Structures are given as C-alpha cells and as structure tokens.
Amino acid sequence: MADKILELKNISKIYGSLKALADINLSVNKGDWLSIMGPSGSGKTTMINIIGCMDTPSTGSVILDGVDISKENSASLTRIRRDKIGLIFQQFHLISYLTAVENVMLAQYYHSMPDEQEAMEALAKVGLKDRAHHLPAQLSGGEQQRVCIARALINSPQILLGDEPTGNLDEENEGIVVDIFRRLHDEGVTIIIVTHDPEVGDVARRKIILEHGRLIDDIDQSATFGEALKLKSK
Amino acid sequence: MFWRMIFKTLARQKSKMLMIAFTVILGVSLSTAMMNVMLGVGDKVNRELKVYGANITVRHKDAALMSDLYGLTEGLGVNDKFLYEEDIFKLKTIFWGFNILDFVPMLDGHAILSVKGRPGAAGDVSLFGTWTEKHAVLSTGEELATGLKSLRTWWEVEGDWIGEDDNNSVMIGKILASKNKIHVGDAITLSNNGIVKNYIVKGIFNDGGNSDEKILMNLSEVQKLMNLSGKISSIEVSALTTPDNDLARKAAQDPKSLSPDEYETWYCTAYVSAICHQIQEVIRDGVAKPVRQVAESEGTILNKTTLLMILITILSSIGSALAISNLITASVIERSQELGLLKALGAYNWQIVLLVLLEVMITGLFGGVIGYFLGIGFAQIIGQTVFGSYIEIAKMVILIVAVILFFVTLLGSVPAIRYLTALKPTEVLHGK
C-alpha cells in the first residue's frame, strides 16, 4: 500500500449559509499527480486553501504527512506551510523589485537560510539560469511562472500545490510548465493542481471533479497518462 | 535578504517614504525647537522678569521678626538693627551664587534738608544709601558689576544716575523734588549729627512708590551722615530661581522636616527657599525672604511658558503620528499582495511587522536627524527673536526626541500593524 501524504476526512467549509465544501473525503499518496477540476464556485480554491494551510475547515480533519492540522492555529499553519508545501499561483506573485534568483531566495529566507547557489540550481532546473538576475518585469509570463515553480520547489516541499498554474500562459508556455511537472512527477514530487483547463487536467495521473462543493468524480487516468503527456508537453 | 528587501522597498517607494520623512522632519524639528527653548527658557524668562526688581530681601533677624509679628517697617527694633556691609560679597560664595545676578545693600536714614535761596524748602527727609553702580573683583577672581540701576529698570530718571564714586551728588524722588521745587543741578545741603554736607542734585527719579519721597545717595555718604560706618539695613537680591513645587513649599515651612535625600535635592535646586536658606548661612544675623509677588510671578510665567512648549510638542507629535499613520497604512494596503505573499511563503506575522516597522524606522531616523538639526535652527531663531540671545542646545533633547520619534512612529504604525496581522494571504493572492 502506497504512503498517504494527504488525507481529507469529511471536510466541510461553511460561510454563513453557504457550504463551499461539503463532506469531502480524499486521499493523496506520495508521488501522486492530482488535478482538481470543476466549474467556478465549485470549491476548488477553498479546497486548495485548506490543503495549503492557508485556511481551516469548518468540520472534518486534514491529515498532512500523518499529522492532523485542521485544528492548528495560524502560526502553526504558517510553519507547516513553510516546511511542507510549495505554492504556485496563477498570477505568479513575484516581488517586482527582486530579481528572479532573489525571489527564489526569499522562500529560502523564510524557511531556513538563503543560498544563492541552491537558488540558481532551482532556476536551472526550470531552464532559467541565464535569466536569474532579471526583474520579473523583464521576464515573459511563462518565465515568471517558472520562477514561481523554482521558488515553490526550493525548500523541497512534500506537496507542490498549484492554483491554476497555467491559467495565465499561452499554449507554448503551458506546454513548458506541464513538462516541468512531468519531470517533477518522475522525481517523485507530489503534485496537486487546480485547473479549469481540461487538457492540463487530463495530463495528471488522477483527476477529481468538484461541483457545488461536493466531490462528484474521482478518475484514475493512469491508463492515458503517458499519451496525454506526450500531446501536451514539449 | 532581509536588509536587501528593506532597502529595495525604500528605494522603490521613494516618494511615499519621502513624505513620511517630511512628516517626521516637521514633527521632530518642532519638538526639538520647543524642547530646547523650554529647557533654555527658564533663565531667559527669569532674566526678562528681572525688570520687576529683586526677588529676595535680606534683613536683620530682629527687624524681620518685628515685621512678621507686628507689620513694622520702621521705628525701634527695626531701624536700629543692622547687617554688616562686609558680608555682602559672601552672597556670591553660596552654592547657587552663580544664580545671583544682582544685589545691593540698602541703608535707611534721615537728615535735615535745606536748599540755598529757598528757605521754605527745608525739613526732615528720609534718605537711602545704596550702590547705584558697583564694580568689584571677588576673592574668586570673578568680576562683579551690580547696582540699583540694574534693579530699578522701570525708574524714569530726569538727569543722570549718580556714579559709583560720586559722593557729592544725590538723586531725589519726584514727589520730594516737586514739593520743594528742586530741579536737576540744584545745590542742596543735608545735615545730621552735626555733619553738614552740600550736594548737587544729579537726577530726579520716579519710582511710583514710597521712594519718591526720599533722597538716594551713595551708601558711604548715608553711613557717614548716620554715623553707621560698615552697617546696612537690608540687602536686595535678584536671583534666578526655579518655580516652587511641593518639596520647595515643604522646605520653605521648615527645612528640618526634610529627609536627607529630600534636603539634598532641595538644597541643590535653585528654589527661592533654597537660595534664601543658603544666603542666611553666610549673612550674619540675616534673614532672607522671597519677595513673594515677584517670585510667584516668575514661577507662574515660567510654568505657563513651559506648559505651552510641552503642549506644542505633544500636539506636533500627535499630528506627526496621525500623518505617519495614514501614510504607512496607505503604503501597506498598496503592498498587501506582496506582504500576503510573504505570509504564504512562510513568514510569521512578527517577521512582516518587523520588516514594515524597520522600513518606517529607517525613514523616521533619516527624517529625525534632519528634523533635529532643523529644530536647533528654529530654536536659535526663536531665541534671537524673542530673547535676543542664543538658546543653549541641551544634549538631553536628543534622547527625548529619539524616544518621542520611536513612540510616534510606533503609534503611527499601529493601524498598519493591525491590518497586517489580520491580512489573510488567501484574500490578497486570489485577488478578492
């Protein structure tokens, strides 16, 4: 039996009379590549916020790497997020006045200690070594997203969490990013991605569908995994 | 990394930080000016108030007792009690000797006045002898210039003051001169105890008090006429004093009621009661008493001036804090996505608060240094304009201003800190 890295047990998130998530149960194994899909307002972002330790569920429990984090306070969640989660955003969220390598080092700074050489290696891994000393404004959208991925990876997180990581990219850059995910998956990194894009959703090994806060489908895509990747990645 | 972020943020937000620095410059310059003036104004205001004359009188203890018990200011038991002229320079040897600005001996007397060619202008008149101007070198080597001229600045004098060694001239009070139709330049004769001497009227003074019916002479002349060589009736002292507080009032009742620590504090502070106490220690048989009206006016004016300065300092600090608060909050709201990202990357609240506070503190320090030197300039302008002299720069103001600046910046940052701690990364990173 594979090691579970994440387990959501009867998770609900309630805002007033609105149930953003309703009684969700989900297990993610180490090294899985999971995509979360669903229409707007289906609860994808709420789910990723809870998994990313940026929010807590109203009921139910979140077991991350064997530890229930659903009742942790804000400071503990910050520590857990820093140590175990790598975040990728749709809008990249790079600090505009720091260079690419400095943006990567920023995540190191809040985790342990900045190491420029290590940050350069992370950028090399996403093909941006020669753009390391450029400011975000001097990089294309795809390059900025790759810096964001390097920043997410720099502290060797247990889960790489992406919120629409290809949402702002053209097709070419989307392919590059998906290819990076493929390599990371090959290296054993656990990847969880929220996406609207069916093509990006299809390249994952597993896909879940949310609707009105409920998990309505859990699809194992192992059979088509290689083919979809070939079509999508470059 | 931390400092790199701070300095890059400062460079990037140059205009906003310059606005904060400008606010700090205004607040600090005003506080620095007010505090320097406040600390230096005591002596300046006191000196200004010296136009109201002496604030301490020293009399023989028996004469003082008669005055206290029966309200007597002349007659037996008062006029026949004397202090020693030779003691007078000891005033400058007391602990607060440096604060004694002017002092004059006074000797009251009387004589028969006659005016040549005016037989009606004759009769018994009151005299008082003093130093109109006195220059002396003390045993300490200090040069002294004092005299009644410095203590009666309000006098209107027709003619001239009599000089330091002018033993053949007198000044006459306006009422006495008017009664006897005496004019400047007239010759008069004064006689007492068989001594007869001619004098020239050098000036006619208008005091507005009892002195206007008296004749003013050099001390030595009255001593000769009264046959009281080396004797004086009283001493008028003008001293720089600190406004009374509870300790001073307690000490004024009875210095023996003070604890050793209180006594030391009181003795080493320029309270009028402490100076009086020290004067009594050096003047034989002397009792020194504050001229309450003058001493209290000085204290009241000084207290009110100080209060005004403190109020201006407080108000300018509050104004700065409010302005800083608005600017920092606006800056933090503008950067909420960036700061939310830091939280998402694992920064604790305190780390982000520290980052923002340091940015503001560095800006504040920059503004504070400029504001301090600008404030010194303002203080000098105030000193020159109001008091006609430079204000001494008090080093302790640096510390006070630094503390005020720290707390003003900190207080100004409170709304921004509250916003930061409540900031949820999910809200700003998803663009809600």
Confidence of residue B2 (pLDDT cuts 50, 70, 90): confident
Residues 195-234 of A with CB under 8 A from B: none
Quick: pLDDT tens for B93-104.
888 888 888 899
Q: Which of B1, B338, B426 minimises the CB distance to A49?
A: B426
Q: According to the model, what pLDDT value does residue B50 have?
A: 60
Residue A112 contacts B where some CB pair is shorter than 8 Å: no
Residue B348 touches partner A, C-beta closer than 8 Å:
yes
Residue B387 has pLDDT above 80, yes or no: no
- Given this model, what pLDDT does residue B170 score? 93
B28 close to B319: Cβ distance less than 8 angstroms: no
Among residues B23, B7, B94, which one has the least CA distance to residue B405? B23
C-beta neighbour count of B353 within 10 angstroms? 18
- What DSSP assignment string belongs to B362-426? HHHHHHHHHHHHHHHHHHHHHIIIIISSPPPPPTHHHHHHHHHHHHHHHHHHHHHHHHHHH--HH
pLDDT at A92: 83
CATH of A4-232, one of 3.40.190.80, 3.90.550.10, 3.40.80.10, 3.40.50.300: 3.40.50.300
pLDDT confidence tier of residue B193, bands split at 50, 70 and 90: confident
Q: How many pairs of residues across A and B have Cβ atoms under 8 Å apart?
A: 65
Distance CA B298, CA B279 (A): 20
Q: Do B345 and A106 touch (CB under 8 A)?
A: yes
pLDDT bin (cut points 50, 70, 90) of residue B295 is low
> CB distance A98–B348 less than 8 Å?
no
pLDDT band at residue A179 under the 50/70/90 scheme: confident
Distance CA B153, CA B151 (A): 6
pLDDT at position A230, please? 59
Residue count (chain A): 234
Please name every residue paired with B201 in a beta bridge, in sequence order, or none if there are none: B170
Question: Which residues sit opposite B287 in a β-bridge?
Answer: B59
CB B56 within 8 A of CB B288: yes
Separation in Å, CA B209 to CA B64, B131, B152, B206, B306: 21, 19, 12, 8, 32
Contact A78 B4 (CB under 8 A): no
In whole angstroms, what is the distance from residue A19 CA to residue A60 CA?
13
Does residue B206 register a pLDDT over 80? Answer: yes
Residue among B130, B125, B176, B165 nearest B149 (CA) = B130
Answer whether A95 sits within 8 Å of B1, measured CB to CB.
Answer: no
| B351 in A contact zone (CB under 8 Å) | yes
Contact B426/A97, CB-based, under 8 Å? no
Name the 3-class secondary structure at B242. strand
In this prediction, residue A234 has a pLDDT band, given cuts at 50, 70 and 90, of: very low
Across the range B51-74, mean pLDDT stands at 77
Mean local confidence (pLDDT), A129-150:
89
Interface test with B, best of A109, A151, A164 (most B CBs within 10 A): A109
| Per-residue pLDDT tens digits for B269-294 | 888 888 999 999 999 999 998 886 66
Query: Inter-chain contact B1–A102, Cβ cutoff 8 Å?
Result: yes
Beta-carbon separation of B346 and A151 below 8 A: no
- B1, B338, B425 ranked by CB distance to A54: nearest: B425
Position A1 scores a pLDDT of: 47
Q: Which of B1, B348, B431 sits opposite A109 (nearest CB)?
A: B1
Residues in A closer than 8 angstroms to B334, CB to CB, are none
Question: pLDDT tier at B245 (50, 70, 90 boundaries)?
Answer: confident
DSSP B271: B
- Residue A127 Rama label (left phi>0; alpha psi -120 to 50; beta): left
On chain A, the residues whose CB falls within 8 A of the CB of B9 are 97
Which strands form A67-68's sheet, in the order they lie side by side? A18-29, A4-15, A59-64, A67-68
**CA proximity to A47, closest of A233, A164, A225, A210:** A210
Nearest neighbour of B346 by CB, restricted to A95, A98, A110:
A110
Residues of A in contact with B11 (CB under 8 A): 97
Instruction: Enter the tokens of residue A229.
Output: 């990747």
Min mean pLDDT across B87-96, B299-308, B315-324 is at B299-308
Question: Does ipTM exceed 0.90?
Answer: no
The per-residue pLDDT for A55 is: 87
Q: Secondary structure of A173-208 in the HEC alphabet?
A: HHHHHHHHHHHHHHCCCEEEEECCCHHHHHCCCEEE
List CB contacts (< 8 A) between A92 and chain B.
Answer: none
Nearest to A162 by CA among A192, A197, A201, A200: A192
pLDDT recorded at residue A202: 85
Calculate mean pLDDT across residues A100-104: 92
Mean pLDDT across B209-226:
90
Q: How far is CA B202 from CA B119, B151, B168, B175, B184, in A?
A: 21, 19, 9, 16, 6
- B306 and B44 Cβ atoms separated by less than 8 Å: no
Instruction: Record the pTM.
Output: 0.63
- CB count within 10 Å of CB B150 equals 20
The ranges assigned to domains in chain B are: 2-45+299-429, 55-290
Percent share of chain B, pLDDT over 90:
20
What pLDDT sits at residue B279?
92
